[in-house]
Amino acid sequence: MTLDPASAELFIRRHTVIASPPIVPEVSLYLATEITPIWQATEAELAAAEVPPPFWAFAWAGGQALARHVLDHPDLVAGRRVLDFGSGSGLCGIAAALAGAACVRAVDIDSIACAVIGINAALNGVVLEIESADIIDGPTRADLILVGDMCYEKPLAARLLRWLRQAVAQGAIVLLGDPGRNYSPAEGVEEIARYLVPTSLELEDRTERSAAVWVLLP
Ligand SMILES: C[S@@+](CC[C@H](N)C(=O)[O-])C[C@H]1O[C@@H](n2cnc3c(N)ncnc32)[C@H](O)[C@@H]1O
């Protein structure tokens, strides 16, 4: 089940504020300031719509590292068709659009994430193609795939990495931003950058995380 766009927008505006991720100050996003209230509000107000937890309300450490890297290396994205997979707030896709991508498709399984991606894109003056779907195992239609902080669940990471390696074999470049999640790939990646990302104790149980940007090898 999905939430209608007007209700999603109302929920987003009621439970978030405009802020910038610590290491990506040039991007503004609608973000939650604390976890518990938005988690509880999602359960209390949106239970009937069976929406997933509000991952979209945070700029995750892996996504921040990837967005920072893209903004600092516009040659990586300039003129390319970019897919921001598991886009959440839209951070990586927005960074790619700001850095000169030919077009950016932001995909997330959560319909509220897709609503916030549209709102956040407009806030930053960029246009993204937004899709709420599980496209794993489907065509990527991209030259460059950005994957911010997606290796947090075993079955998801396994499916995702298998699909991404196929995309690499077909010629796409895949960049992962990851702060050492439990199901990050242990091999078949090359580290191209690393960033120290300030985090909240409540979200990460620590005040900073070291997040890598990896290129997925064939
Ligand atoms: C930890 S968040 C990362 C969000 C963003 N990339 C970032 O780094 O801030 C993971 C996101 O992946 C999305 N997601 C999970 N499974 C997915 C799937 N099969 N297809 C698309 N998106 C998915 C979730 O809804 C969530 O928004």
| Secondary structure (3-state) at 45 | helix
- Name residues whose C-beta falls within 8 Å of residue 29's C-beta, 6 or more positions apart in sequence: 18, 19, 20, 21, 59, 89, 90, 91, 94, 116, 120, 123
Largest CA distance in the chain: 45
Q: Is the pTM of this model over 0.95?
A: yes
Place of tokens 């242990």: 186
Determine the distance from the C-alpha atom of residue 82 to the mean position of all C-alpha atoms in its chain, rounded to a whole number. 13
Is any ligand 1 atom within 6 A of the Cβ of residue 107?
yes
Q: Whose CA is nearest to atom 13 of ligand 1?
A: 86
Q: Would the pLDDT of 38 be above 90?
A: no
Residue with tokens 């932001």: 106
Q: How many Å lie between the centroid of ligand 1 and the Cα of residue 108?
A: 6
Give the number of the atom of ligand 1 that is nearest the alpha carbon of residue 177: 8
CATH number at residue 121: 3.40.50.150
Q: Output the CA–CA distances (angstroms, integers) from residue 22 to 29, 104, 151, 189, in the order listed.
A: 11, 23, 22, 26
Cβ neighbour number for residue 182 with a 10 Å cutoff: 9
Indicate which atom in ligand 1 lies nearest the CA of residue 60. Answer: 9
Beta partners for residue 128, in sequence order: none
CB of 163 sitting under 6 A from ligand 1: no
For 156, the 3-state DSSP assignment is helix
Task: Kindly state if the Cβ of 148 falls inside 6 Å of ligand 1.
Answer: yes
Q: What is the pLDDT of residue 48?
A: 73
**45-68 confidence digits (pLDDT tens):** 887 777 888 999 999 999 999 999
Digit-coded pLDDT (tens) for 68-126: 999 999 999 999 999 999 999 999 999 999 999 999 999 999 999 999 999 999 999 99
* Nearest-CA residue for atom 7 of ligand 1: 63
- Are the beta carbons of 196 and 210 closer than 8 angstroms? yes
Instruction: Write down the pLDDT at residue 39.
Output: 85
Range of the domain at 136: 5-216
The radius of gyration of the chain's CA atoms, rounded to the nearest angstrom, is 16
The count of structural domains within the chain is: 1
Rounded to 10 deg, the angle between the 91-98 and 111-123 helix axes is 30
Question: CA-CA distances (angstroms) from residue 134 to 13, 49, 137, 143, 197?
Answer: 26, 18, 9, 19, 28
| 3-class DSSP assignment, residue 22 | coil
